[in-house]
């Protein structure tokens, strides 16, 4: 059934990120593709509790690209990379998603193009090419060095010298990803047209790549050194990103971008943003001049000061409190536990071999919060990082020494040699046979079953799908909160991050456990306002009326 465009659908949606190279290969070339995704849509949502119950899918970039950064170097914003299919396959994917009530979000990369994009080829062809100013070109300093001290996020200087025209161009990421000059109105207009192209084809929205970088200080001054940086720390943190990250002009551009989304009912903009809770909140704009519908909060993955956010109740509580306190009242937070840039949750929290248990509790945390949650493919079966032998490493970005291949390995559908992913040689090696979907499918105790039950329950309990969050509390071991919508019983969420049993205080006296990380606990009742939680456990409790 094709759902009519409806504003605000994203408020109650559970979203799923697909890394297209790694989800499902349909032609045996070892690379996932759109046809493969179509074949797996029923796994995401077939309208029954046997499926995950996903409401929206975000595809990492699917556009033509030389793949220097696996699609985040776009050479044509209005087509499909042949590895993934064609415009015809994309049209079918859109239709097949909509038939199941699934919304489809693509990945818009506005900060930079590929160095093979025709715009950049023209721009670099001569100093007086009409497109010269579409990118950021500057003369060398008198000593020949780059125009300023900015570092690329992936390491090394953010400038590359072009011998032919004698100037440097700016690239916040790889040298194959030159930054567009958003101060040129023609650039902005051309990029906004690419959004309309996809909206016209029925795409429901975009995840927007590094939106906080599209406008820099117009004079490109040096960034100051970071006083907290020590030799041996990651190079990109050696300076404070003052002039090229979340620069004030970005927030005005975001509002202009939003107006294009508003030309098409029901379309949603989800920004990849970084910064403090207050900086994240700024991307939402104001009620009068809205910005993004949603801006990612990655603080459960990493926070300033923590490369890996610890799984500790006080830390989780602070992250939730800060998001609740800053995101404007007309919207809501947007959390993720995983994505294609970071070590997977199970691996991050496996220092004592109990990462998988923590992943169960994390599922109930993520889906129990007031937010639009994003699940990264494989998270629902507890996929971990895969060791990649040096000769198989693909990712050129070395901001983690091994790059980001370990968290991008193919989806493990079953335990056959091709894991149900491919009949050929996979582009990245598989992990161990387990976990996989087939082994978890019929097992009521599996993580997959927990995700399915929690997602469907969330839809059935209005307090969870759209209720306010209140009574955030707990102690050193537990974090608790409650959700409440009009005319529906309140639901409490309790998470025990300690490896000991813990007793959590809930904001109501009596209720029943609706779901818990440990099914033997599912019939537990709350009396006297307390819930006993197993080690590393979590539960949702529906208040007795
Ligand atoms: C953020 C994306 O998530 C990452 O994968 C990419 O390498 C950079 N932006 C550059 O586009």
Q: What is the pLDDT of residues 60-115, one digit of tens each?
A: 999 999 999 999 999 999 999 999 999 999 999 999 999 999 999 999 999 999 99
Counting from 1 in the atom list of ligand 1, the atom nearest the Cα of 112 is: 11
CA-to-CA distance for 431 and 266, rounded, in angstroms?
A: 38
**What does residue 211 show for φ and ψ, rounded to 5 degrees?**
-60, -25
Residue 348: per-residue pLDDT: 97
Cα–Cα distance between 136 and 387 in angstroms, integer? 38
Q: Is the pLDDT of residue 247 over 80?
A: yes
Instruction: Select from 113, 209, 295 the residue to mutate for testing ligand 1; criterion: most ligand atoms less than 8 Å from CB.
Output: 209
Comma-separated ranges of CATH 3.90.400.10 domains in the chain: 118-170
Banded pLDDT at 476 (limits 50, 70, 90): very high
Task: List where CATH 2.60.40.1180 sits in the chain.
Answer: 467-543
Q: What is the mean pLDDT of the segment spanning 225-235?
A: 86
Q: What average pLDDT does the segment 340-368 reach?
A: 98
Does the pLDDT at position 544 exceed 70?
yes
Residue 324 is a catalytic residue = no
Q: Show the tokens assigned to 3.
A: 């759902």
Question: How deeply is 285 buried, as exposed, middle or buried, from its count of CB atoms within 10 A (0-12, 13-18, 19+)?
Answer: buried
CA of 159 to the centre of ligand 1 (A): 18
Structure-model confidence comparison of residues 415 and 523, the more confident one: 415
Can you give the pLDDT at residue 400?
62
Q: Which atom of ligand 1 is nearest to the CA of 172?
A: 10
Nearest to 56 by CA among 373, 520, 509, 291: 373
Around Cβ 274, how many Cβ atoms within 10 Å? 20
pLDDT of residue 235: 81
Question: Closest Cα to atom 2, ligand 1: which residue?
Answer: 209
CA 435 to centroid of ligand 1, rounded, Å: 27
- Under 8 Å CB-to-CB from 536, ≥6 apart: which residues? 354, 357, 358, 360, 361, 496, 497, 498, 499, 517
Average pLDDT, the chain: 96
DSSP 321-353: HHHHHHS-TTS---BBS--TTS--HHHHT-TTS
**Ligand 1 centroid to 209 CA: how many Å?**
6
Nearest to 178 by CA among 267, 115, 231, 257: 115
> Where is average pLDDT lowest: 70-74, 192-196, 230-234?
230-234
Interatomic CA distance for residues 80 and 142, integer angstroms: 43
- List pLDDT tens digits, range 383-409: 999 999 989 999 987 656 679 999 999
Closest ligand 1 atom to the C-alpha of 109? 11
**Distances 248 to 149, 196, 219, 253, 305 between C-alpha atoms, Å:** 20, 26, 14, 9, 23
pLDDT at 527: 85
Among residues 7, 233, 252, 263, which one is catalytic? 263
What is the spatial distance between Cα 166 and Cα 176, in angstroms, rounded to a whole number?
18
What pLDDT score was predicted for residue 147? 98
Structural element, H or E, at residue 470: strand 468-474
pLDDT band, residue 162 (cuts 50/70/90): very high
Which residues belong to CATH 3.20.20.80 in the chain? 9-111+185-457
Name the residue with higher pLDDT: 527 or 356: 356
> Which pLDDT band holds residue 155 (cuts at 50, 70, 90)?
confident
Residue of 18, 210, 397, 399 best suited for mutating to test ligand 1, as the one with most atoms within 8 Å of CB:
210
- 155 versus 265: the higher-pLDDT residue is 265
Q: Are strands 205-208 and 167-170 parallel, antiparallel or unpaired?
A: unpaired
- Gap from CA of 111 to ligand 1 centroid (Å): 10
Measured from the CA of 69, which atom of ligand 1 is nearest?
7
Q: Which CATH class is domain 467-543?
A: mainly beta
Residue 3 predicted with pLDDT over 70 = no
Distance 60 CA to ligand 1 centre (A): 10
- How large is the angle between the packed helices 185-200 and 248-262, nearest 10 degrees? 30
Q: Looking at ligand 1, which atom is closest to the CA of residue 72?
A: 11
Q: What is the mean pLDDT of residues 414-424?
A: 98
Assess whether 380 carries a catalytic annotation: no
Neighbours of 224 (CB within 10 A): 12
190 has pLDDT over 50: yes
Percent of the chain at pLDDT > 90 equals 92
Measuring from atom 8 of ligand 1, which residue has the nearest CA? 72
Per CATH, the homologous superfamily of domain 118-170 is Oligo-1,6-glucosidase; Domain 2 (3.90.400.10)
CA distance 246 to 249: 8
Confidence of residue 305 (pLDDT cuts 50, 70, 90): low
> Which residue is listed with tokens 């995840």?
207
Q: What is the 71 CA–ligand 1 centroid distance (Å)?
A: 9
pLDDT at 303: 87
Write phi, then psi, for 542 (nearest 5 degrees).
-90, 125
Q: List ligand 1's pocket residues with C-beta within 6 A.
A: 69, 72, 109, 173, 209-210, 272, 340-341, 397
Of 500, 498, 472, nearest to 318 by C-alpha is 472
Question: Residue 6 — pLDDT band, cuts 50, 70, 90?
Answer: low
* Separation of alpha carbons 15 and 53, rounded Å: 9
Residue nearest to atom 6 of ligand 1 (CA): 72
CATH topology of domain 9-111+185-457: TIM Barrel (3.20.20)
SS3 42: helix
Nearest Cα to Cα of residue 335 among 280, 262, 266: 280
pLDDT of amino acid 398: 61
* pLDDT category of residue 4 using cuts at 50, 70 and 90: very low
Average pLDDT over residues 281-295: 97
Compute, in angstroms, the gap from residue 112 CA to the centroid of ligand 1. Answer: 10
CA of 321 to the centre of ligand 1 (A): 28
Contact yes or no for 420/32 (Cβ under 8 A) = no
- Site to probe by mutation for ligand 1, drawn from 17, 22, 72 as the one with most ligand atoms within 8 Å of Cβ, is 72
Stretch 450-467: mean pLDDT, rounded? 98
Please report the atom of ligand 1 found closest to the CA of residue 341.
5
The confidence score (pLDDT) of residue 399 equals: 59
Which entry of 33, 209, 272, 380 is annotated as an active-site residue? 209
């Amino acid at each position: 059934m094709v759902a009519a465009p409806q504003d605000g659908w994203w408020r109650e949606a559970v979203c799923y990120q697909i890394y297209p190279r790694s989800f499902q290969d349909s032609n045996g070339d070892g690379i996932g593709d759109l046809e493969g995704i179509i074949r797996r849509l029923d796994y995401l949502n077939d309208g029954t509790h046997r499926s995950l119950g996903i409401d929206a899918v975000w595809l990492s970039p699917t556009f033509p690209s030389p793949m220097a950064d696996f699609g985040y170097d776009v050479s044509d914003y209005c087509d499909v990379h042949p590895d993934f299919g064609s415009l015809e396959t994309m049209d079918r994917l859109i239709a097949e998603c909509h038939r199941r009530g699934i919304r489809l979000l693509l990945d818009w990369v506005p900060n930079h193009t590929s160095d093979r994009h025709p715009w950049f080829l023209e721009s670099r062809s001569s100093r007086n090419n009409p497109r010269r100013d579409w990118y950021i070109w500057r003369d060398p300093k008198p000593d020949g060095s780059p125009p300023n001290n900015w570092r690329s996020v992936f390491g090394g200087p953010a400038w590359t010298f072009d011998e032919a025209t004698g100037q440097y161009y700016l690239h916040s990421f790889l040298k194959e990803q030159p930054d567009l000059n958003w101060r040129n109105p023609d650039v902005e207009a051309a990029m906004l047209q690419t959004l309309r192209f996809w909206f016209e084809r029925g795409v429901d929205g975009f995840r927007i790549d590094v939106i906080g970088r599209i406008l820099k200080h117009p004079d490109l001054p040096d960034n100051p050194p970071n006083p907290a940086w020590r030799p041996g720390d990651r190079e990109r943190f050696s300076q404070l990103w003052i002039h090229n990250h979340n620069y004030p002009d970005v927030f005005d551009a975001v509002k202009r971008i939003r107006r294009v989304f508003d030309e098409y009912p029901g379309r949603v903009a989800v920004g990849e943003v970084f910064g403090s809770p207050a900086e994240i909140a700024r991307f939402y704009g104001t009620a009068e001049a809205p910005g993004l519908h949603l801006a990612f909060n990655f603080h459960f993955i990493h926070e300033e000061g923590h490369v890996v956010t610890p799984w500790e109740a006080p830390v989780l509580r602070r992250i939730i409190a800060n998001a609740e306190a800053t995101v404007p009242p007309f919207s809501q937070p947007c959390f993720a536990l995983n994505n294609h840039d970071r070590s997977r949750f199970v691996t991050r929290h496996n220092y004592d071999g109990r990462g998988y248990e923590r992943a169960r509790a994390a599922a109930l945390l993520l889906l129990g919060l007031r937010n639009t949650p994003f699940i990264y493919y494989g998270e629902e079966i507890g996929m971990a990082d895969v060791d990649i032998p040096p000769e198989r490493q693909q990712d050129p970005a070395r901001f983690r020494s091994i790059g980001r291949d370990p968290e991008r390995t193919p989806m493990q559908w079953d335990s056959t040699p091709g894991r149900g992913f491919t009949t050929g040689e996979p582009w990245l090696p598989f992990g161990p046979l387990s976990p996989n979907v087939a082994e978890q499918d019929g097992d009521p105790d599996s993580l997959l079953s927990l995700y399915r039950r929690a997602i469907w329950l969330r839809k059935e309990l209005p307090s969870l799908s759209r209720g306010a969050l209140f009574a955030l509390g707990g102690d050193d071991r537990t974090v608790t909160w409650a959700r409440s919508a009009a005319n529906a019983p309140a639901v409490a969420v309790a998470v025990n991050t300690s490896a000991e049993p813990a007793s959590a205080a809930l904001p109501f006296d009596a209720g029943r456990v609706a779901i818990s990380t440990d099914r033997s606990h599912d019939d537990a009742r709350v009396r006297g306002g307390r819930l006993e939680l197993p080690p590393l456990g979590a539960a949702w409790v529906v208040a007795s009326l």
